[in-house]
Amino acid sequence: MRSELTFSTDDLARTRFAVSPMWEVVTSLRALAGPTVPALHRPWADRIRPSATAAGPALRRLSALVPAAGHLPDFLTPVPATAAPSLADELAVIAATPSDQVRADLEIMAAERGGRLPAVLEPLHHDPVGRLPLLTADIEAYWEFALEPHWARIRALLDADVLHRARRAAGHGTARVLDELHETVRWDGTALRLDQRHCAVERLDAGAGLVLVPSAFAWPRVLTRTLPPDPPQLAYPARGVATLWEAGPAADPAEALAAVLGRSRARLLAELDAPASTTELARRTGLSAAGTSQHLTALRAAGLTSAQRAGHAVLHARTAVADALLAADAAAAASRVG
């Protein structure tokens, strides 16, 4: 299936990124809902399984609302009001969803299932205002055991993706960023084309821009939300998601660079294939947070790293000088082996 989202110049100028807790809630529930959890996320699923079993009715209600395939209720993924809304921010919007919108989403789901909703969703359809507080409580309960313990790691991945693509946009323009989002997404100069998707995208009005949402659990798909007059949202797999649940430290950097910079600083540079926070770097390298901060300060002063705030976190990234150093070191190591 091929779909198309036509852009005006104003749309392109108003394209923005956002990190959304609710997109991670919805996509992680979908990852759990299939006959098998995708291999990428099995380490996470194994860790939360005991709590998921104990969640009982709350998880059954959420699983019915977020099936393994088919329509995802639009009211569960409201347009992020900021670049990084909190879960509480998004739940407040969900709790205030008009009854007509809740029922419209549920009726689409019913139509996909032969005209009937799962019994656990019938009360929500009958009385959205009265049942939305229970839904938001279910989401909070799921968040607490499934995502909150891992949110620092997930958030660092998502922030790093946004920083990388913002730097690409600054150097090459927004159109290049759109063309690089995913193998099924292509920018042709006037429209964003999406291939082999499970649902169609239609642009019903103009001038609302586009919200790009990196996601850990959307992998391997690109998902969309189009509900005029809201700007369309496109949730895509974040860069580096394949390493999200990897355990253990990365391999040591080459000895030559470590001899010049010191092993800890060389290792920090090697870890910055994608931008990361001080906390995340400390966790991955085993260094203390204070020591990691001191080394990063020294590397930044030497022009080998840069720092940029993303929401509440500060993300560190390698500069072109550091990339060149690491590339030269790798080439020298290869020649020695040869």
Domain assignment of residue 6, yes or no: yes
Q: Radius of gyration (Cα) for the chain, nearest Å?
A: 22
Residues 261 and 160 in one domain: no
Nearest-angstrom CA–CA distance, 157 and 243? 10
Residues 223 and 262 in one domain: no
In-domain check, residue 129: yes
The Cβ of residue 133 has, within 10 Å, a number of other Cβ atoms equal to: 11
Same domain? 47 vs 151: yes
Q: Is residue 298 part of a domain?
A: yes
Identify whether 153 is part of a domain.
yes
Give the pLDDT confidence of 126-185 residue by residue, as tens digits.
Answer: 999 999 999 999 999 999 999 999 998 899 889 888 888 888 877 766 767 777 777 677
In this structure, the answer to whether residues 180 and 300 fall within a common structural domain is no
For residues 38 and 109, membership in a common domain is answered with: yes
Question: Per-residue pLDDT tens for 249-308?
Answer: 444 455 667 778 888 898 888 888 778 889 889 888 888 999 999 999 999 998 889 988
**pLDDT recorded at residue 203:** 46
Predicted pLDDT at 35: 87
Query: Can you tell me the distance from the alpha carbon of 273 to that of 330, in angstroms, rounded to the nearest whole number?
Result: 14
Q: Among 100-104, 123-127, 202-206, which stretch is predicted with the lowest mean pLDDT? A: 202-206
Burial (CB count within 10 angstroms: exposed 0-12, middle 13-18, buried 19+), residue 184? middle
Classified as helix, coil or strand, 281 is: helix
DSSP string, 178-193: HHTS-TTEEE-SSEEE
Confidence of residue 18 (pLDDT cuts 50, 70, 90): very high
| Number of structural domains found in the chain | 2
Q: What does the pLDDT look like over 186-234, one tens digit per residue?
A: 777 666 677 654 444 444 444 478 899 999 999 888 888 888 888 889 8
User: How much is the pLDDT for 329?
Assistant: 63
Category of 133 on φ-ψ map: left (φ > 0), alpha (ψ -120 to 50) or beta: alpha
Q: What is the mean pLDDT of the chain?
A: 84
pLDDT bucket at 247, cuts 50 / 70 / 90: low
309 versus 201: which is more confidently predicted?
Answer: 309
Tell me how far apart the alpha carbons of residues 233 and 311 are, in angstroms, rounded to a whole number.
19
Residues 226 and 259 placed together within one structural domain of the fold: no
Q: Which of 71, 55, 57 is nearest to 120 (CA)?
A: 57
Is there a single domain that holds both residue 332 and residue 231? no
What the block records as the tokens of 291 is 């020591």
Where on the phi/psi map is residue 36: left (φ > 0), alpha (ψ -120 to 50), or beta? beta
φ/ψ region of 72 (left if φ > 0, alpha if ψ in -120 to 50, else beta) reads: beta
User: Is 264 contained in some domain?
Assistant: yes
The verdict on 226 and 113 lying in the same domain is yes
Closest CA to 280 of 145, 159, 144: 159
Calpha distance 126→122 (Å, rounded): 6
Report pLDDT for 133.
97
CA distances from 122 to 60, 77, 103, 117, 126 (A): 13, 21, 10, 6, 6
- Tell me which range, 6-10, 73-77, 258-262, is most confidently predicted by mean pLDDT: 73-77
For the ranges 84-98, 187-201, 255-269, 321-335, which has the lowest average pLDDT?
Answer: 187-201
Q: What is the pLDDT of residue 328?
A: 66
If you average pLDDT over residues 77-105, what whole number do you get? 95
- 180 and 267 belong to one structural domain: no
Q: What is the pLDDT of residue 156?
A: 84
Calculate the CA dihedral of residues 13, 19, 23, 29 and round it to 10 degrees: 150
Query: Which residues form the domain of 295?
Result: 255-337
Are 17 and 77 in the same domain?
yes
Q: Are residues 322 and 224 in the same domain?
A: no
Determine the straight-line distance between the first and last CA of the chain, rounded to whole angstroms.
48
